[in-house]
Structure 1
Amino acid sequence: MDFTLYIIIAIILFVIVSSLFTVKQQSAVIIERFGKYQSIRNSGLQIKIPIVDRIAGRLNLRIQQLDVIIETKTKDNVFVKMKVSVQFKVVQERVYEAFYKLEYPHDQITSYVFDVVRAEVPKLKLDDVFERKDDIAIAVKRELNDAMVTYGYDIINTLITDIDPDIQVKHAMNRINAADREKTAAEYEGEAERIRIVAKAKAEAESKRLQGQGIADQRREIARGLVESVDVLNTVGINSQEASALIVVTQHYDTLQSIGAENNSNLILLPNSPQAGSDMLNNMVASFTASNQVGEAMKKSGTKEKEYKPKRNLPPQTDFPSQNNPAE
């Protein structure tokens, strides 16, 4: 009697345990009764009839990812390997179709990805494949959605995560990019050198212009000073010839004094005899007289002089008395 009771209790416990089962969150369980579809059970504690009902399968309702590696050829005959990541999930309202209509969903999705990629990539050159990879991904998603929605699968997104050309092609592309960058760098360096040369030439031209203007201003002031000096000497009764001789002698000795006062000056030999000033003035007067004679001869021969404007008629060459012979 006690043994029979134990058997009954064991059978009851077995029936209860066999009747209860749990379904995880974001999962679905398909129940069949004698091999025929009975119901779909969602997350939580569920009950089924022992022996009569059985769990036919479980489906994951979370988003899944399938990575597909494809080797194909571009329009310019370059073989590339592409990695396409497909994110998909089972639609909760269509668990029946997902379980009974499609036995191997991963294989089905892979086949569609191969078909679309090998139809789109051969239309593009290698550079365009990199630039338009998003367009290829959109085409894959559109084709998969149209095909897989019938089987209860929703394609969330498709991503082309890697494009790997042949190793020799990659080396060639790297060389092309390096050469292009070197060309651009050389162009910038040449432009910079041209700018430096132009700026230097402009600076030198401006320097020469200012230097010439300074020399012209200096000579103009010297001439003005000489005229004023002659006028001042004329007011005290010294004629133009004597004034000119005095100015020349004064400048001569001022020059000697400045050279002697310079500490680091090189050796310069200048005439310093008492007749030096007179000789220099005579030579200057002779030069001006010869220039005037040449100008008069050119005027008589009908030649037009350009930029020749004599300021005054200098007196003829005159020997000035020297300090060695006051009686002269």
Structure 2
Amino acid sequence: MDVLAPVILIVTILFIGRAIKVVPQQSAWVVERLGKYHGTLSPGLNFLIPFIDRLAYRHSLKEIPLDVPSQVCITRDNTQLKVDGILYFQVTDPMRASYGSSDYVMAITQLAQTTLRSVIGKMELDRTFEEREMINAAVVSALDEAALTWGVKVLRYEIKDLTPPAEILHAMQQQITAEREKRALIAASEGRKQEQINIATGERESFIARSEGEKQAQINQAQGEAAAIAAVADATAEAIRKIAAAIEQPGGVQAVQLKVAEKAVDAYAQLAQKNNTMIVPGHMGEVAGLIGTAMTLMRAGSAGSAAAPQSSSAASRPGNSTSV
């Protein structure tokens, strides 16, 4: 009896241990009854029939990252390219994940590699660096369609690295360097072009401004000269009027005769000073004749000016008429 009690206790503990199962959150346990799928235990406390039910598979329902081994792919232009990527998937159907494939992780990995080789084989080397998003989307689309039968949902695929051969990488670096030098030369030429345009524009505007300034200066000078000429003409006319008025006064004719005689004597004196030879008139009567001629002309002018008012006044008198 003392030996039987511990045995019963051990059996009871084993029975309870096999009958009660606590499933963690975000986990799914597949139960088989007598070798056949019976059900999937949800998170929390669950009960099984000992020695009849057994836990066949344990699955995590969390998102799982899967590192896809790197592989060498051949592009459309026959260039080898080493590709390394990572895959994210999640178990959505524990029953299919248990019985749909013997190893769904390996199946997903192999399918990701073959799909990647197929997608890159349709593209040229340069496009593989530019179309990463398209490659990722193509791999996810192909994997997601095939993984439905495995109870797995492929969420996304990301390319970690694209490594071309060393000689191809060197050639690409040279091409990039040449392209940058080309852009630098183009930028420098555009800068010189813009500089020449700016200089030409500045010179044109400066020339226009100078020509406008010269034009305005010439206009101002012409206006000043015209004003000066008008002022000189007005002053000369005023002087002539004053001289004429002064001659008409008593003693004006004698003053003019004296002035003309002084000018004549001064002229002969200047000739005598500037030349070694003395120049004198043949006889002094010529000087008197010159003065007399000038005075005769002045009297004739004075008489004409005086006769004009008299004739106009006579013509205005009543009773005077002229018949032809």
TM-score (norm 1): 0.64
Structure 2 distance, partners of 1:179, 1:82, is 30
- 1:144 matches 2:161: no
- 1:181 matches 2:183: yes
1:276-291 residue pairs with structure 2 within 5 A?
A: none
Task: State the Cα deviation string for residues 58-107 of structure 1 (Å, max 9, x = none).
Answer: 11122222232343233334433334332221223xx2221122122222
Distance 1:3 1:67, change over 3 A: closer
Aligned partner letter, 2:153: D
Distance 1:228 1:326, change over 3 A: farther
Gap regions ≥5 residues in structure 2: 242-265, 274-324
Gap regions ≥5 residues in structure 1: 240-320
21-30 vs 153-162, which moves further? 153-162
1:59-74 residue pairs with structure 2 within 5 A?
A: 59-68=59-68, 69-74=70-75
Structure 1 distance, partners of 2:133, 2:106, is 23
Aligned to 2:203: 201
Structure 2 distance, partners of 1:11, 1:124, is 66
Radius of gyration: which is bigger?
2
- Tell me the secondary structure at the aligned position of residue 28 of structure 2: strand
- Tell me the secondary structure at the aligned position of residue 159 of structure 1: strand
- Tell me the secondary structure at the aligned position of residue 51 of structure 1: coil
Aligned partner letter, 1:158: Y
Aligned to 1:314: none
Aligned to 1:38: 38
Structure 1 distance, partners of 2:102, 2:183, is 54
Pick one of 226, 229, 233 that aligns with 1:227: 229
Report how far residue 171 of structure 1 moved. 2.0
Structure 1 distance, partners of 2:163, 2:175, is 12
Structure 2 distance, partners of 1:96, 1:187, is 69
Structure 2 distance, partners of 1:60, 1:54, is 18
- Tell me the secondary structure at the aligned position of residue 75 of structure 1: coil
Report how far residue 177 of structure 1 moved. 4.2
Aligned to 1:271: none
145-154 vs 209-218, which moves further? 209-218
Aligned to 2:20: 20
- Tell me the secondary structure at the aligned position of residue 230 of structure 2: helix
Structure (1/2) with the larger helix percentage: 2
Structure 1 distance, partners of 2:186, 2:74, is 32
Q: Percent identity?
A: 25
- 1:103 matches 2:102: yes
TM-score (norm 2): 0.65
- Tell me the secondary structure at the aligned position of residue 239 of structure 2: coil
Aligned partner letter, 1:208: R
Task: State the Cα deviation string for residues 19-78 of structure 1 (Å, max 9, x = none).
Answer: 222211121112234544333222112222333433222111222222323432333344
Aligned partner letter, 2:24: K
Aligned to 1:8: 8
Task: State the Cα deviation string for residues 196-248 of structure 1 (Å, max 9, x = none).
Answer: 21222222221331232133224313421331233033123369xxxxxxxxx
Distance 1:77 1:230, change over 3 A: farther
Aligned partner letter, 2:90: K
162-171 vs 63-72, which moves further? 162-171
Structure 2 distance, partners of 1:89, 1:56, is 19
- 1:55 matches 2:45: no
Aligned to 2:91: 90
